Chains A and B, each alone.
Chain A
Amino acid sequence: MSVFNQSRGRVVQIIFGAVFVIILIQLINLQVFSAKYKLAAENNAIYRKIIYPDRGIIFDRKRKAMLENTISYDLVVTPVESKGTDTLALCQLLNIDTVEYKKRMREIIFKNTSVKPSVFEALLTQELFAKLYENMYKFPGFNLIDRSVRTYPYNTGAQVLGYIAEVDTGFLRKHREEGYEMGDYAGMNGLERTYEKVLMGVRGIKRYIRDNKSRIQGPYENGMFDTTAVAGRNLYTSVDVEVQQLAEKLLANKIGSAVAINPKTGGIIAMVSSPNYNPNDLTGSARRKNLGRMLLDTARPMFNRAIKGQYPPGSTFKPLGAVIALDEGLITPSYGVACYGSYTNCGVLVRCEHKNAGHAANLRLALANSCNSYFSDVFRKAIDNSDYKNPTGGYLKWKEYMNAFGMGTKLDVDLPSEDKASVPDTAVYNRAYGKNRWNSCTILTLGIGQDKMTATPMQLANMMCVIANKGSYYTPHFVDSIEHEEAEDKAFLAKYRKKHIVTHASDTVFRAVHDGMHDVTVYGTAAAIKVPGVEYCAKTGTAQNPHGKNHSIFVCFAPKDNPTIAVAVVVENSGYGSTWAGPIGAFMMEKYLNDTIATDRLAEVERISNADLVPSAIKEWYVRKDNQRQAKLALEAANKAAEMNEEEENADKNADKNPGINKRLTEEQLEIAPSKEEPKKSKDSKKSTKANTALFLHADDRFKVKKSKA
């Protein structure tokens, strides 16, 4: 029998062999050809911990840190691992409901997949951190991640420094190759944005092996693949924190801007835009709320007027007009005009403040007296220059000068989104008047800094630098040097270290301009404004504008003989240049040059700081906002009370329906409530409001609609 079945032994062996071959084939498939298992294993077992480097610090010119880093904690979740989390306990700790929890989870998974860690609650308060830390064992998949957060010890320079925020999908798309990940923070504005690459440093990655319950087992491969974090490099700026603080204080309760530049280097000493905000408002747990409030604010505290606000320069333009004519050789410092109170050569009347004969007998006198006739005349000379065939040619030459001075072009400061303001192109006038149908008369008021000419406060300050330097300037900038400067940084900063020579006018020519501007401070419009122990040059401006009351403008530089600071100040809708902008500029110079404010002048600082010059329309907006908030609060309280009553009355009714009805009620009542209160307040200021609505470049539409209804 055994002989008969001998062949079957072979069959059995073949079966054994065949099955092993099948197993080996599957092993080849799994181990050699499928890369996904290796990847899955890494995702499984290797925990990549990102070590965030400390961001670089930004110092002022005296090496005071304008911002520093502290530690804050984020609650981070990896959704796939969060099964088994005590959702209820977590919601209670975070003070949210489970609906909100689910919503956030959905959003996180949608934005950043369920396998990558995402921030669930950012910037925890100390108290919340302590509570969560104790209970973390209940929340698998959740982690507390520390990250360094900015603090601002001087509470100053918010718009200049900018802020950092978590990157969003848009940012990630734009900066795809730069190694950002969801949950990273990046500079979103100001210097933080411009110098992001320098400040961010290099992130380190530590790899750990973790087990099936996400417990860390130890470093992966003894840290062979780990990279160390390299701290961000520091920035050394030309800002003087104390001048900055003082300028912010002086501009409080006003809308406007002030810029101070060191003409010797182009380094910006102070840059203020008012209203502004405390930079510490945008760190910490109240960040989201504050940011929302500020973005909706009609006065736009996030808007840096110093580089984005466009103002007609008014009389402050006159020195520049003179320099252009002098450089072109159209006039000499001794050139004078006879003015009797107005300029009438063009048929239209341009008024002058002075009537006495000889107040414009030469350049120095004309500047000191800010003679409109003189500078209208000089401007016409430039446009009707016989070297060029027609006014268009003369205008183009004039515009070329202007652009060389940094007017109507971007100066390329190291802040993002700088505005170039406007020195109109010929096309603008061609469109307005027809080609070759305009001449020096039609655009006459350009000569006294009006018409379609606008400039940003920084451009005005830079203009002062050119005059202070007698025809040259350095591109305004904040950062003087970067810690451990690399070739790339040097290349970037090179443009700020290059001198731009824009005129070839002689020293004497500029001396006449300086003397004229100095006379302004002796017996001219700024005679009342003194800087103790310092001789300075200045020019006031009172710019007419379509938004209401004149802008108060002041430009100056000091000391007269060796200028080290040039300032431009604009206070919107506040009248004469010498009333508000002048003293502010003077105090800034005093602080910078004397390092302190004379004690007898401190009261004046307080007076200016407390003066409320915010246009009534904007104030009204705040009142409305407050009313709405109060109405909302009152309604909420009323609803709560009503709800409780209702619940008591019919406790067995379906509880889900009531809040929904109440909510709808609330919204309807809210719409009505403020409009009832409104008329009383808005009636008296209606006219000014209408005029001022144009001022709100981005006033929210709902506001406008309501206004028109009222």
Chain B
Amino acid sequence: MSSRNSSLSKGVDWTVVVLYAILVAIGILCIFMVEYRSGTNWMQLFLGGKTNYSKQVIFAGFCTLVAAFILMADSKLFTAFANLAYAFGILLMLATFVIGKDIKGSRSWIALGGGFNLQPAELCKIFAALALAKYLSMQNTDFSKLKSQLIAGGIVLLPAVLSRLQHETGLALVYLSFFIAMYREGLPAGILVTGLSFGALVVATLIVDPNVLAITLTVIAILIIYFTRRQIKRNSKLLLIIIATWAVCVGVQRFAVPYIFNNVFECYQSQRIYSAVGKDYDCSQNKHNKIESATPGAKAYKPDDYNVRQSKIAIGSGGFWGRGFLKGTQTRGKYVPEQHSDFIFTSLGEAFGFVGCAIFLLLYLFLLLRITVIAERQRSTFSRVYAYSVASVMFFHIAVNVCMTIGLFPIIGIALPLISYGGSSLLTFTVLIFILLRLDADRQMVLR
């Protein structure tokens, strides 16, 4: 036992632990800011345990315990149980379809009793990270082969699909971040580039008039053919590829995107995406909407940018130095919906202004870069892949959440790691980080 205890602190990267502690503390502070009402005896409320910030403190305490257990555990445990945990996670997610609890329109929660609920999709991130690391670190895996890439992709995308089926679009998107880790492990850059290009094309479709965009694409295609005419002479296949790409692009722009927006997405989702690029979406075109309201014809514009607008107002009103702790009028007036969870960044932005936001984001960036540094110093592939997965997932969460509050990304339910109110989210990131720290403490070992 004594050797265990000594190894608890030995080799642990304390920088990350300190950053973790600071961020959790900031999170509790932010939730306190949102909940605080002048004139109330907050100490009493705090001790009463009914408020969100006292709950978050309880979560934090629980997470400390979990963290301690993880640090005491054996690193080999994680490699050994990686696949099993993954299977367990998938099973839990499937279970929600049967015993799930409906919270805010998504049946992705399992009631634990005592007012606490568990969201398996959150935990599944850990299991997916472990499983991905396990698969890529297997000796017979050659990640340069398409088959391995497909299997790795499958491991990551299975929980994503299940999340989407639970109407948790945000969580589903998070799994895409594992592609960053895979990229580090040798996934061809072309896949990421293609993905990004597709994203750019979709955004362009939303912003630019369809005909103008079609003409632009055509012009680009013609220019490419003109400049590569010598290569084309040597290799006529290239011409076909260019023309096919052009055709796909125009097809996507002309038919696929409108189809997806009108038939696949819910009305509110289309609206949010449109509003993120500063446009109005006409809901009467939406299939789901048409089924609901039997009165066709009238254009039903319903500007759904209240959240973004209020969130931007709150952050923008902070100014350079901020309004000061507990002095944010937007926060106190509860103007921003879901401010304690997904929009927690707004309370920070209003109270501490640009300076506070910048320092806060630099803390995050420092943590992320620290994790990548840790990743690169691992001797075993398992640890490295896992570390990159942690960094990618956190990065994706931070980037999407912050961009969403400042109007750069459509609104989807993605929490700000370690800050947003919520036990599941906090626990997930605690476990993610501390498993990494445990693995890092044993970085001299080669794990398979």
Contact = CB atoms under 8 A, between A and B. Distances in A.
A46 interface: yes
A211 B372 contact: no
B334 A211 contact: yes
Interface string A199-216: 000000000011110000
B369 A16 contact: yes
B314 interface: yes
Contacts of A28: 354
Interface stretch (A31-39, A234-242, A268-276, A359-367): A31-39
B391 A12 contact: yes
Interface string B180-193: 10011110000000
Interface in B151-193: 180, 183-186
B375 A37 contact: no
B125 interface: no
B319 A38 contact: yes
Interface in B352-402: 353-354, 357-358, 361-362, 364-365, 368-369, 372, 375-376, 381, 384, 388, 391-392, 395, 399, 402
Contact of A12 (B180, B310, B319, B408): B180
Contact of B376 (A6, A19, A31, A212): A6
Contacts of A31: 315-316, 318-320, 349, 353-354, 357
A2 B354 contact: no
Contacts of A26: 403, 406-408
Contacts of A209: 329, 332-333
A16 B364 CA distance: 10
A2 B381 contact: yes
A20 interface: yes
Given A4-B186, A12-B180, A31-B354, A37 B312 contact: yes
B316 A38 contact: yes
Interface string A7-50: 01101110111011011101110111010111011101110000
B38 interface: yes
A31 B406 CA distance: 10
A425 to B, nearest CB: 66
B396 to A, nearest CB: 10
A17 B313 contact: no
Interface in B297-323: 310, 312-320
Contact of B317 (A37, A210, A211): A37
Contacts of A22: 408
Contacts of B262: none
A9 B333 contact: no
A218 interface: yes
B143 interface: yes
B364 to A, nearest CB: 8
A486 to B, nearest CB: 38
B330 interface: yes
Contacts, number: 136
Interface string A32-74: 1010111011101110000000000000000000000000000
Given A9-B372, A19-B395, A218-B38, A24 B361 contact: yes
Given A2-B384, A30-B406, A44-B335, A24 B358 contact: yes
B114 interface: no
A220 interface: yes
B39 interface: yes
Contacts of A599: none
B304 to A, nearest CB: 15
B333 A27 contact: no
B279 interface: no
B37 interface: yes
B365 A17 contact: yes
Contact of A40 (B317, B332, B388): B317
Contacts of B361: 20, 23-24, 27
A220 B327 CA distance: 9
Contacts of B314: 41
A46 B406 contact: no
A5 interface: yes
A217 interface: yes
A584 B256 CA distance: 95
Nearest to B181: A12
A23 B406 contact: yes
B372 A16 contact: yes
B335 A217 contact: no
Contacts of A130: none
A16 B402 CA distance: 13
B349 A27 contact: yes
B184 A211 contact: no
A445 to B, nearest CB: 77
A487 interface: no
A44 B183 CA distance: 46
B329 A38 contact: no
A276 to B, nearest CB: 52
Contact of B354 (A32, A40, A221): A32
B398 to A, nearest CB: 8
Interface in B123-164: 143
A248 to B, nearest CB: 55
The 10 residue pairs across chains A and B that have the minimum distance between CB atoms:
A37-B316, A41-B317, A45-B329, A211-B333, A31-B354, A30-B316, A45-B333, A40-B313, A38-B317, A211-B334
Given A27-B349, A46-B329, 13 more contacts: A9-B184, A12-B184, A12-B392, A20-B364, A23-B399, A23-B402, A23-B406, A24-B357, A26-B408, A27-B315, A32-B354, A41-B316, A45-B329
29 contacts: A1-B186, A4-B186, A5-B184, A6-B376, A8-B183, A9-B372, A13-B369, A16-B368, A17-B365, A19-B395, A19-B399, A20-B365, A22-B408, A23-B406, A23-B408, A24-B357, A26-B406, A27-B315, A27-B349, A27-B357, A32-B319, A34-B316, A38-B316, A38-B317, A41-B316, A209-B332, A212-B310, A212-B334, A217-B37
